Chains A and B, each alone.
Chain A
Amino acid sequence: MNLEIAVYRYNPDVDTKPYMQDYSLELPEGTDMMVLDVLMKLKEQDPSLAFRRSCREGVCGSDGVNMNGKNGLACITPVSSFNGKKLVVRPLPGMPVVRDLIVDLTQFYKQYEKIKPYLINDDKTPAREHLQSIEDRAHLDGLYECIMCACCSTACPSFWWNPDKFIGPSGLLHAYRFLIDSRDTATEERLDALDDAYSVFRCHGIMNCVDVCPKGLNPTKAIGHIKSMLLKRAV
């Protein structure tokens, strides 16, 4: 089977503007492979092609790209899911391109930093560890699994327009993970930091984040919970 592929290319040292480069790859009939494998085959043909990848099994979150218009992890997206259509690979949208499929995620990490992604506990330090009941631990399910691949935040128009002010779906999923953690004692301070017109309330619930999350998480639901927490203490 012949697979047609178009890849976004841009090397700021050489190119004046980005362009799409067409490739062709012969796949053995009846076989399938992941988009990352395709990119690695293309890199054998053309070593100048640049992209990030590490674990190649959907755990590290390095190879988030836009495939045929939808963000996802190249390493766990099979070519067969495109039903023989031309595969178009672009970098994650809305972020500055460093080179080819590699984007600068500084702004994404700055937003993550803002939500203080660590436990804050003012209680007396226990001898061994802060214990948590099974029920309290269960609240973290669906939140802690985020691998920060940035597929969700870069699929969100609110994040495209205000990446410096809106925390974004990934950051807010993490924010709720710490807000709901029974061991964290800084709930009020965390809510104070989010109580403005941009940080949380720029989410209008269009659910692009839910649609693209490769781990099947639901940032919109977590954001809804944060909005409820902010409302409860304001009304």
Chain B
Amino acid sequence: MVTNAASFGRSGVHDYILIRASGIILACYTLFLLGFVLTSSPLTYDAWQGLFSALPMKVFTLLALVAVLVHAWIGVWQVLTDYIKPLMLRGFLQFVFVVLVLVYLLAGISIVWEV
């Protein structure tokens, strides 16, 4: 067995489940937003604010942001371990990407809760 600590999941199976579960959430969120944009004509500021001020939409958005974090963490780790062989460089890039998606999540929480 090959061990690793830098990925998000505890094992290959865990990563496999997480990346698919988060993918489903992101697909649902994208389809919902696409549907909203296509059916809300004209798409006014009020309609947009009305959508995001509802609690279910806030929760759905935060769920999607957490899904981005999980999906990107595992995906980037897989890509980096494929293509970047120098250990220090890979560790650094992994750190930068993880910090970036965490910032994305935290900023998202702040933005969504201010609507």
A residues whose Cβ falls under 8 Å from a Cβ of B: 157-158, 161-162, 165, 192-202, 227, 230-231, 234-235
**Do A197 and B12 have beta carbons less than 8 Å apart?**
yes
**Do B17 and A231 have beta carbons less than 8 Å apart?**
yes
| CB of B11 closer than 8 Å to a CB of A | yes
Q: Which of chain B's residues have a CB closer than 8 A to the CB of A196?
A: 1-4, 11-12
**Do B9 and A197 have beta carbons less than 8 Å apart?**
yes
Could you give 11 example pairs across A and B, Cβ below 8 Å? A162-B82, A192-B1, A195-B1, A196-B1, A196-B4, A197-B9, A200-B12, A201-B13, A230-B12, A231-B16, A234-B11
| CB of B61 closer than 8 Å to a CB of A | no
Q: Is the interface of B mostly helix, strand, loop or mixed?
A: helix
**Do A201 and B16 have beta carbons less than 8 Å apart?**
yes
B residues whose Cβ falls under 8 Å from a Cβ of A: 1-4, 7, 9, 11-17, 78, 81-83
CB B100 to nearest CB in A, in angstroms, measures 21
Give the CA-CA distance A201 to B3 in the complex, in Å. 13
**Do B13 and A199 have beta carbons less than 8 Å apart?**
no
The contact of A227 among B14, B16, B81, by CB within 8 Å, is: B16
Give the CA-CA distance A198 to B13 in the complex, in Å. 10
Q: Which of chain B's residues have a CB closer than 8 A to the CB of A227?
A: 16
Q: Which of chain A's residues have a CB closer than 8 A to the CB of B12?
A: 195-201, 230
Q: Which of chain B's residues have a CB closer than 8 A to the CB of A158?
A: 82
**Do B1 and A194 have beta carbons less than 8 Å apart?**
yes
Q: Which of chain A's residues have a CB closer than 8 A to the CB of B9?
A: 197
Give the CA-CA distance A70 to B7 in the complex, in Å. 33
Query: A192-B1, A196-B11 provided; 14 other pairs, C-beta below 8 A?
Result: A158-B82, A162-B82, A194-B1, A196-B3, A197-B7, A198-B2, A198-B4, A198-B12, A199-B1, A199-B2, A231-B13, A234-B11, A234-B14, A235-B17
CB A189 to nearest CB in B, in angstroms, measures 11
**Do B13 and A230 have beta carbons less than 8 Å apart?**
yes
**Do B82 and A197 have beta carbons less than 8 Å apart?**
no
Q: Which of chain A's residues have a CB closer than 8 A to the CB of B11?
A: 195-197, 234
Q: Which residue of B lies closest to A197 (CB)?
A: B12
The contact of B2 among A157, A161, A197, A231, by CB within 8 Å, is: A197
**Do B16 and A193 have beta carbons less than 8 Å apart?**
no
Q: Which residue of B lies closest to A167 (CB)?
A: B2
Residue in A165, A200, A201 whose Cβ sees the most chain B Cβ within 10 Å: A201
Q: Which residue of A lies closest to B82 (CB)?
A: A161
CB B75 to nearest CB in A, in angstroms, measures 11
Give the CA-CA distance A16 to B15 in the complex, in Å. 44
Give the CA-CA distance A234 to B16 in the complex, in Å. 11
Q: Which residue of A lies closest to B74 (CB)?
A: A197
**Do A234 and B82 have beta carbons less than 8 Å apart?**
no
Q: Which of chain B's residues have a CB closer than 8 A to the CB of A162?
A: 81-82
Q: Which of chain A's residues have a CB closer than 8 A to the CB of B78?
A: 202
Q: Which 8 A-B pairs have the closest CB atoms?
A: A201-B12, A161-B82, A198-B2, A197-B12, A234-B13, A196-B2, A165-B2, A196-B1
Q: Which residue of B lies closest to A161 (CB)?
A: B82
Q: Which residue of A lies closest to B4 (CB)?
A: A197
